[in-house]
């Protein structure tokens, strides 16, 4: 897949996996989130390898991230979205989501999926809504999986 890179002053969004600061992403996801708390580094590396990744950079420093899991024909899951606290309030998350939603390989999809308990206001700007029929939704969720794995 073609690498896409866009710039806005000293900020850059890139889909180049080679630019990702995996250690910085891991530090944030493993320590600053509820959804990936304790994620092992190797698990993160596997998720990156099998996703379309969007790195957000200030100069060359990784300050944000998001990834897409997709078949590129019918469905996409948006996950692991973050912008470091000191860079919030600058419109960077809106810019990041806009670039994701406009990625050429993600057009014409029947369904986008997102699980969040923060920043609903942001995702609503891009057409995300609450489930109209939550009774149709099913999941198998193991919230403490990374803590369970450590004990094995």
Q: Which domain holds residue 140?
A: 5-151
**Which is nearest to 118 in space by CA: 88, 145, 95, 75?**
88
- pLDDT tens track of the chain, all 152 residues? 899 999 999 999 999 999 999 999 999 999 999 999 999 999 999 999 999 999 999 999 999 999 999 999 999 999 999 999 999 999 999 999 999 999 999 999 999 999 998 889 999 999 999 989 989 989 888 888 887 655 54
pLDDT of 152 reads: 47
Interatomic CA distance for residues 65 and 71, integer angstroms: 20
The total number of structural domains in the chain stands at 1
**Which is nearest to 32 in space by CA: 73, 76, 84, 74?**
84
- CATH number of the CATH domain containing 122: 3.40.630.30
Interatomic CA distance for residues 114 and 123, integer angstroms: 9
Say if residues 66 and 100 touch (Cβ distance below 8 Å): yes
């Amino acid at each position: 897949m073609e690498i896409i890179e866009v710039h806005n002053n000293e900020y850059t969004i890139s889909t180049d996996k080679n630019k990702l600061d995996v250690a910085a992403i891991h530090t944030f996801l493993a320590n600053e989130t509820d959804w990936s708390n304790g994620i092992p580094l190797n698990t993160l590396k596997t998720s990156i390898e099998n996703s379309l990744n969007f790195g957000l950079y200030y100069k060359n420093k990784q300050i944000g991230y998001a990834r897409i899991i997709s078949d590129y024909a019918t469905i996409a899951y948006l996950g692991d979205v973050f912008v470091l606290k000191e860079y919030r309030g600058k419109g960077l998350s809106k810019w990041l989501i806009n670039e994701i939603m406009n990625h050429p390989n993600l057009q014409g999809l029947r369904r986008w999926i997102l699980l969040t308990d923060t920043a609903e206001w942001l995702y609503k700007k891009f057409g995300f809504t609450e489930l109209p029929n939550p009774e149709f939704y099913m999941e198998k969720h193991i919230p403490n999986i990374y803590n369970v794995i450590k004990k094995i």
